[in-house]
Amino acid sequence: MTYSKAFKIGVFLNLLFIIIEVGYGVTSNSLALIADAGHNLSDVLGLAVSWIAVWLSGKNSNQRYTYGYKSSSILAALLNAIFLLIAVGGIATEAIQRFNQPAAVAGWPVIIVAAIGVLINGFTALLFMSGRKKDLNIKGAFLHMAADAGVSIGVVIAGFLMLFTGWTWLDPLISLLIALLILFGTWGLLRDALNLALAAVPAAINLPEVRQAIEAHPEVKAIHDLHIWAIGTTDTALTVHIVRTELANNNELLENLNQELMTKFAINHVTIQPELGKVTQETSDNCI
């Protein structure tokens, strides 16, 4: 199954679940269900943005966007994090207000709807599981759905407790726990997306190791102006100047370096500038 189809299924299922949650949340007076519906709405928006980014990333480059639209996946991950932070603020505010004005909550509707949520969110998370380690955009979709499945399990437990104890304060408490879980899961996504947006070295790549791999070639006497950044959530670029005392077999060296950087570090856009010259203190100091 392609990720485009996975996003289509995920958006449809979660829209259906939102309608169910809002309807049961209003009739059963459950803030936990309504809060989770708001969170799921942010997930639908996030899934839609990620879906658009996947589509844009597949479009060819042109004279204006010479790398194509691969960076849209970074923007999608960043927007996903922002959607979730907005949801956290809304859920927390409503939960605090409900602590001051508790209301009775119907237990069985909460339990039934949350159980449906476990199935829908769990299934949707499975659609993105295989790509979560390779693509920050896909990872964002997976984390949202997996967290929602876990939260729905918590709502089921709270529903049973309220049914048998009458503790209405459990409803806003669960809402606050939902907010905290979302915040915890969003922080890493926000950090990584901001880093990629600022052209930082991707977290999976160790810059000193890359430098050592290039300098390990005996034909390379020194390097400088080494830069590594993400074009998108699955594409990484590198530029570097290498100093050589002679340019014999230059094409062979460049081919070997390109292959090594791709194989060892998954850097798939490499630009290497060979220079004929001697190693100087200035060259050594400007190795990054």
Q: What is the mean pLDDT of residues 45-58?
A: 82
pLDDT tens by residue, 82-130: 877 877 787 788 778 777 776 665 567 778 888 888 898 889 888 887 7
Q: Provide the CATH topology of domain 3-197.
A: Alpha-lytic protease prodomain-like (1.20.1510)
Locate all alpha helices (DSSP H) within the chain, ordered by sequence: 3-28, 31-57, 72-100, 107-128, 136-165, 170-197, 207-215, 250-265, 281-285
Q: Are 129 and 141 in contact (CB under 8 A)?
A: no
- Whether residue 254 is predicted with pLDDT greater than 80 in this model: the reply is yes
Report if pTM > 0.85: no
**Residue 80 or residue 208, greater confidence:** 208
Q: How confident is the model at residue 285 (pLDDT cuts 50, 70, 90)?
A: very low
Domain spans, the chain: 3-197, 207-285
Average pLDDT in the chain: 81
Confidence check: pLDDT of 216 > 80: yes
Q: pLDDT confidence of 212, banded at 50, 70, 90?
A: very high
Which carries the bigger pLDDT value, residue 8 or residue 39? 8
Calpha distance 67→218 (Å, rounded): 33
**Max avg pLDDT among 85-89, 160-164, 204-208, 242-246:** 204-208
Strand, coil or helix: 227: strand
CATH number of 207-285: 3.30.70.1350
Which pairing describes strands 222-230 and 269-276: parallel, antiparallel, or unpaired? unpaired
pLDDT at 202 over 50: yes
What is the percent of the chain where pLDDT is above 90?
15
Predicted pLDDT at 102: 65
Confidence at residue 214, expressed as pLDDT on a 0 to 100 scale: 93
Read off the pLDDT of each residue in 7-30 and give the average, rounded to a whole number: 83
